[in-house]
Amino acid sequence: MTRSLFFKFLARAMMPILILFSIFFLLRGHNQPGGGFVGGLVGASSIVLMTLAYGPAEVASRLRIDFRRAMFWGVIVAAIAGLLGLIFQSSFLESIWFKPYIDGIGKLELGTPALFDTGVYIAVFGVTVSIVMAMADESDREAE
Partner 1 sequence: MTLLFAITIGVLFACGIYLVFRRSLVRLIIGLSLLTYAANLMIFTSGNLLRRGTPIAGETPPEAMSDPLPQALILTAIVISFGVTAFTLALGYRASQAVGGDDLDAMQTTDREEMK
Partner 2 sequence: MTPLIIFPFLIPLITGFSALLKRRGRRRVAFSIGVTANLIAAVVIMASTYDGTILISQMGDHPMPFGISLVIDSLSAIMLLLTAVIAFLVGIFAMATIDANRERFAFFPLFAFLVAGLNFAFLTGDLFSLYVAFEIMLMSSFVMLTLGGERGQLEGGIKYVTINLISSTIFVVAAGLTYAVAGTLNMAHLAIRFSQLADPGVTLVLAGMFLIAFGIKAAIFPLFFWLPASYHTPPIAVTALFGGLLTKVGIYAMWRVLILILPAATAILQPLLITVSIFTMIVGVLGAVAQMDVRRLLSFHVISQIGYLLMSLAIGTTDALSAGIFFMAHVILAKTALFLISGIVHELEGSYHLKHLGSVAKRHPGAAVMFFIAALALAGIPPFSGFWAKFLLLRAGIEAQQYLLVGVGLAVSLLTLYSMIKIWNEVFWKPNTYTPSADEQPTPLTRIERRAMIGAAAVMVVLVFALGIAPESMISLSNRAAAELFPNGLGHSGYVDAVVAASAEIGGLSE
- Note the residues at the interface with partner 2 (CB under 8 A): 68-69, 71-72, 75-76, 79, 82-83, 85-86, 89-95
Instruction: List residues bridging with 107 in a β-sheet.
Output: 101
CB of 71 to partner 2, least distance (A): 6
Give all strands (DSSP E) within the chain, no chain letters.
Answer: 97-98, 101-102, 106-107, 110-111
End-to-end CA distance of the chain: 9
**Residue 31 site contact among partner 1, partner 2, none (CB < 5 to 8 Å, cut-off depends on kind):** partner 1
**CB contact set of 39 (below 8 Å; sequence gap of 6+):** 22, 23, 24, 25, 26, 29, 117, 121, 124
User: 8 or 30: whose CB is closer to partner 1?
Assistant: 30
User: 8 or 140: whose CB is closer to partner 1?
Assistant: 140
CB of 8 to partner 1, least distance (A): 26
**Residue 131 site contact among partner 2, partner 1, none (CB < 5 to 8 Å, cut-off depends on kind):** partner 1
- 53 vs 98: CA distance, rounded Å: 43
CB of 11 to partner 2, least distance (A): 29
